[in-house]
Structure 1
């Protein structure tokens, strides 16, 4: 387990005991109109992020919260390490480097000095983020580094984020699903509006250095999805490698080991990981409201077609 994950576990588990001492309004801060968890980041950190220096071989993974980014991150780390054929000693050195440099598993987490320390990390760096394109460091989109963007249908994303919000002591809770739904639709959550994220990323759908993949696509055929990801990043693996990683990095396998890999955080992080759970929460009016919102924001776009909204989000008649 990398030190970056250990650090988040440490912060989250400390917050369980400290959560009652922090008022809900102090759990989040606003930066450029978007909310972020105050325990994990700060305006100073996000300002310092502008100077981040991208390497051409960096591997970036982007996605709105609760779209499957932890699952994707495990897959990509396994694909990358298999391709690189690290020895056991090399893996220890990489993990120790993260420990020494006090890394976090998201680009926007940590103290303002973290980006200077990241310069000392060995390549290839796998960098994950929930940030939208306009808040990424300028060097990211200007470099030859590749970005893999993960999407999940908005209704399942909303439900997953609702449970995460109410179980995560770093975030303020909601008194009801209806109260949360209004916040989700208006982008009044940590990392802002789901729909704004999609609208922004849609502008880059034809960018040669960016690949977009759906959570639902990965759930339907994880091996095929991983083969597409490996081809995009230039990773070379055998059929046996893909099968082994798919078994190890399945959602169920990660959930079963979550206590071991993520501590108490595992219970919050890995819930159901299924497609269609939104039907248990959305009222007919809420479902129709989100259908209209999606149409208003992304109707007719390439991204909307790729996401198969009608398949995953429309009520069967």
Structure 2
């Protein structure tokens, strides 16, 4: 059964009455193996690190605001053979749970949702490679990793912090930019995150994709994902998935755009969860001097890495 966005919100309020008029206090950051996390991740770390993966689990991994929700929708559409109605059965964070989500006074935890899911399960994470539960590698699970250029990731993450009360206050644009470069934002350093997953791609079953490629060549990249998932799709199904996972469709889909959450959790009047989805939006935010400083910092951080992005420098 396909549920309207209004009914989904009613259901969430029915099952979680504390959402009515709830005040969400922004969490502090806590270090976990030298990586900063919102307190609700760090305080539940034992449950995350002890998570038992299954061999047919599929993990979607990104640094925050780098295309994970986009890939969640693509993968769910592939799993459902392009059935758009089935992909509107529930919000994306229920269909593809976030492994380390533990705001259980607001919504069900990621591990609770996964425990009730039938195999094969699909889940997402923003964890850096070194903190992914070992069971994923022991079970030889597949992972789809999406990397987005640093400048656009920074801009998107800043706007997301402004609207999402589940994260610390971002401060000013200048303050947040510096924290981003210093790796002092939730889930840590963009540089370490991307380099770590890049280096691991030849050691594990990891499909490493670039946000910019998915944006420019959606059909080609979706076919890569389907092949990786060992799914054969008919031509009309492929076209349906390309269309249904486009930014313009997803931004108006309450099952994909987090529109079911109340403003006390995510105030989309400040900034929409699916804000622009553009490549190169950083040019509307960086001053000339900021851009020069960032380029110098980026070059130092990435000098020994072979990963190359378009539209970065």
Question: TM-score normalized by structure 1?
Answer: 0.80
Structure 1 position 114, deviation (Å) = 6.0
Q: Superposed, which structure 2 residues align to 1:192-271 within 5 Å? A: 192-258=188-254, 262-263=258-259, 264=263, 265=266, 267=268, 268-271=272-275
1:105 has 2:109 as partner: no
Count of equivalent residues: 292
**Which one of the candidate residues 287, 292, 295 is aligned to 2:296?**
292
SS at match of 1:131: coil
Q: Is 1:156–1:276's contact at 8 Å kept on the other side of the alignment?
A: yes
* TM superposition shift of 1:17: 4.6
Distance 1:170 1:6 in 2: 18
What's the C-alpha RMSD, in Å, of the aligned pairs? Answer: 3.5
Which residue number corresponds to residue 167 of structure 2? 171
Verify the 8 A CA contact 1:59 1:124 in the aligned structure 2.
yes
Unaligned runs of 5+ in 2: none
Q: SS where residue 216 of structure 1 aligns? A: helix
What is the CA–CA distance in structure 2 between the aligned matches of 1:57 and 1:275, rounded to whole Å? 33
Structure 1 distance, partners of 2:199, 2:57, is 22
Deviates more, 1:129-138 or 1:116-125: 116-125
1:260 shift after superposition: 8.2
Deviation track 1:118-138 (CA, whole Å, cap 9, x = no partner) reads 344211100100001111100
**CA deviation string 1:186-227 (max 9, x = no partner):** 111111111110121122132350110001000001111100
1:65 matched to 2:57: no
Q: 1:259 to 1:116 in 2, by over 3 A?
A: closer
Q: CA deviation at 1:266?
A: 8.4
The runs of 5 or more residues in structure 1 that have no matched partner are none
Aligned to 2:152: 156
SS in 2 for 1:269: coil
Cα distance in 2, alignment partners of residues 269 and 166 from structure 1:
10
Query: CA separation of 1:16/1:148 partners in 2, compared to 1, >3 Å: closer, same or farther?
Result: farther
